[in-house]
């Protein structure tokens, strides 16, 4: 409730002031907010009961295998199958008519599968995350300069949407399980980084796809907003939409559940009581995601699109920037995978990195990113002018902060750009861009990429301030001890 209420209040205030919504769209939004509250609660409970123990169990058992071929095959299949059914990716693929949606989904899934294999092998052999990030992002920007300009924002967006509510909990717990088999001092920090590397794979693969397809005629279109005149019609519209999300979420969870059953049949890793708890958790996860996705897709997407268009058509269209920043600050709190990440970070760091501090750093990052995205919508600024310096600063900070902050920061970028971004912020940018007469492929797309980038900076800045604070504290302690020693010597 606390995570959904602020964004609901902001949209309601906008709807009765500078961005009036028709009653039908507002009712859809409010119904969607109610579903979000219930969905978030069930999802969080279900993840704790099922996805996290499943991922840790698979990670521990598979990483003990002496032969590399088994882990490689298992991790590749996990990456491909979970990504192909990721709801965020389904939303994005339907908005890119330049390339067949199936081709785009398969390309992204293969990218995640390959990089999940690489990420798990990195943990197994203790390869520094910083080194891989420098090499891979260099490759990303080389390919980006070769790809068609109107396809670059979509490529970077694909890296953000793939790490959604299905893949994040499982992959993060998988990393914890693999890292737990190591006993060295870097094992805890190496448990992070899987999400970040799995986000790079789709960017590289989609950029290659853009170079091959040369989609010069790429275009985008706005979603059709339903006409709702009564609350009964709104309720009926949600009821009619439920089967779609019941099917989508089932297709998303079945590959994970199926592979887990095969794993359990072969290894007998979990006891019967644990299996019953995992089964109940999967049911909660399933219902939670159905409620959540139905709420954001049916209720939030039309509201985001209309609010963006209405503000852009106003004489004070510059208000897009501060309003976008305000929405961005609060909307990340409603992302289902964010609570999973912040909780896991607090547990792994033994409380030294609190959920509150992580949440604040991510909110500030997304606030800045949405503001910059709105500047792009208003001015048509090339996304390279923001991505290149943003990632340069992020990679430069990796040399100044502890490794654990680097892993957490680059993971947080993928986690922040989830279904709320794809179904509210992206339509918000598209509605504004269409109203201004801009190119949606180059100006509206890219907002997911921006949301995925800025937390890399803010969380590492938080880590840097922590390092500086500890150094100053040690210096003050050393100075105090020296004064005490001088006093003792004086009296002697």
Q: What are phi and psi of 270, to 5 degrees?
A: -100, 145
- Region 305-310 average pLDDT: 90
**Percent of the chain whose pLDDT exceeds 70:** 90
175 vs 34, which has greater pLDDT? 34
Per-residue pLDDT, 371: 93
282 vs 230, which has greater pLDDT? 282
Round the average pLDDT of the chain to a whole number and report it.
82
**Percent of the chain whose pLDDT exceeds 90:** 9
Q: Which two tokens stand for residue 344?
A: 């896991």
Q: Which two tokens stand for residue 228?
A: 């709702």
Contact 159, 203 (CB under 8 A): yes
Say how many Å lie between the first and final Cα of the chain, rounded.
Answer: 64
Per-residue pLDDT tens over the stretch 343-394 = 878 877 777 778 888 888 889 999 999 999 999 999 988 888 898 899 999 9
Q: What residues have CB less than 8 Å from 182, skipping those under 6 apart? A: 123, 126, 190
Per-residue pLDDT tens over the stretch 390-441 = 999 999 998 888 888 888 888 888 788 777 777 788 889 988 998 888 887 7
Q: What residues have CB less than 8 Å from 210, skipping those under 6 apart? A: 147, 148, 151, 152, 154, 155
Question: DSSP class of residue 318?
Answer: G
Buried b (16+ CB within 10 A) or exposed e, 66-80: eeeeebbebbbbbbb
Nearest residue to 440 (alpha-carbon basis) of 448, 450, 451, 431: 431
Q: Which two tokens stand for residue 190?
A: 């190496």
469 vs 220, which has greater pLDDT? 469
How far is residue 177's CA from residue 191's CA, in Å, rounded to a whole number? 8
How far is residue 380's CA from residue 444's CA, in Å, rounded to a whole number? 9
Per-residue pLDDT tens over the stretch 461-478 = 888 888 788 788 778 777
Helix axis angle, 336-348 to 403-416, nearest 10°: 170
How far is residue 86's CA from residue 162's CA, in Å, rounded to a whole number? 7
Tell how many helices (H) and how many strands (E) occur in the chain.
22, 0
Examine the pLDDT at 37 and tell me if it is beyond 60.
yes
Burial class (CB in 10 A: 0-12, 13-18, 19+), 106: middle
Examine the pLDDT at 219 and tell me if it is beyond 70.
no
- Name the pTM for this structure: 0.81
Per-residue pLDDT, 184: 64
Q: How far is CA 179 from CA 263, 360, 401, 486, in A?
A: 19, 27, 20, 47
The CB density around residue 259, as the number of other CB atoms within 10 Å, is: 18
Examine the pLDDT at 450 and tell me if it is beyond 70.
yes
For residue 67, name the pLDDT band (cuts at 50, 70, 90): confident
Cα angle 179, 112, 245 (rounded to 5 degrees) comes to: 105
Tokens 């279109």 label which residue? 221
Burial class (CB in 10 A: 0-12, 13-18, 19+), 235: middle
How far is residue 256's CA from residue 264's CA, in Å, rounded to a whole number? 12
Per-residue pLDDT tens over the stretch 176-195 = 777 776 666 666 666 777 88
Q: How far is CA 428 from CA 142, 303, 328, 417, 469, in A?
A: 30, 8, 11, 15, 39
């Amino acid at each position: 409730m606390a995570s959904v209420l602020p964004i609901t209040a902001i949209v309601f205030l906008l709807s009765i002031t500078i961005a009036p919504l028709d009653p039908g769209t507002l009712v859809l939004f409010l119904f969607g907010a109610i579903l979000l509250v219930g969905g978030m609660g069930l999802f969080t409970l279900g993840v704790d009961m099922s996805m996290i123990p499943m991922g840790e169990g698979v990670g521990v058992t598979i990483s003990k295998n002496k032969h590399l071929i088994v882990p490689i095959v298992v991790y590749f299949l996990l990456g491909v199958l979970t990504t192909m059914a990721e709801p965020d990716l389904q939303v994005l693929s339907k908005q890119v008519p330049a390339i067949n949606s199936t081709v785009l989904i398969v390309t992204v899934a293969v990218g995640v599968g390959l990089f999940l294999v690489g990420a798990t092998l990195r943990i197994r052999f203790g390869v520094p995350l910083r080194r891989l990030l420098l090499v891979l992002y260099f490759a990303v920007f080389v390919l980006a300069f070769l790809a068609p300009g109107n396809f670059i924002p979509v490529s970077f967006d694909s890296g953000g949407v793939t790490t959604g509510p299905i893949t994040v909990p499982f992959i993060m717990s998988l990393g914890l399980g693999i890292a737990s088999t190591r006993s060295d001092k870097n094992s805890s920090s190496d448990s992070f980084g899987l999400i970040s590397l799995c986000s790079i794979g789709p960017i590289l693969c989609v950029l290659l796809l853009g170079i091959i397809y040369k989609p010069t005629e790429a275009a985008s279109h706005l979603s059709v907003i339903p006409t709702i005149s009564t609350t009964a019609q709104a309720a009926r519209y949600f009821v009619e939409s439920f089967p779609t999300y019941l099917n989508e979420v089932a297709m998303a969870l079945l590959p994970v559940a199926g592979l887990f059953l095969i794993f359990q049949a072969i290894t007998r890793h979990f006891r019967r009581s644990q299996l019953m708890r995992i089964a109940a958790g999967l049911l909660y996860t399933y219902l939670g995601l159905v409620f959540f996705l139905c709420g954001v897709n049916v209720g939030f997407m039309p509201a985001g699109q209309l609010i963006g268009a209405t503000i852009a058509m106003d004489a004070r269209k510059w208000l897009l920037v501060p309003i976008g920043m305000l929405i961005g600050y609060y909307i990340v709190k409603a992302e289902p995978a964010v609570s999973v990440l912040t909780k896991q970070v607090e547990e792994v760091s033994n409380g030294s990195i609190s959920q509150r501090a992580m949440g604040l750093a991510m909110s500030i990052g997304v606030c800045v990113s949405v503001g910059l995205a709105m500047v792009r919508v208003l001015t048509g600024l090339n996304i390279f002018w923001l991505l290149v310096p943003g990632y340069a600063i992020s990679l430069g900070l990796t040399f100044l902060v502890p490794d654990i902050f680097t892993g957490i920061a680059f993971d947080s970028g993928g986690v922040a750009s989830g279904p709320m971004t794809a179904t509210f912020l992206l339509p918000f940018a598209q509605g504004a861009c269409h109203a201004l007469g801009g190119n949606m492929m180059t100006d509206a797309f890219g907002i997911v990429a921006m949301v995925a980038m800025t937390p890399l900076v803010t969380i590492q800045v938080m880590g840097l301030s922590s390092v500086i604070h500890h150094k100053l504290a040690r210096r003050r302690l050393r100075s105090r001890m020296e004064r005490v020693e001088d006093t003792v010597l004086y009296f002697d």
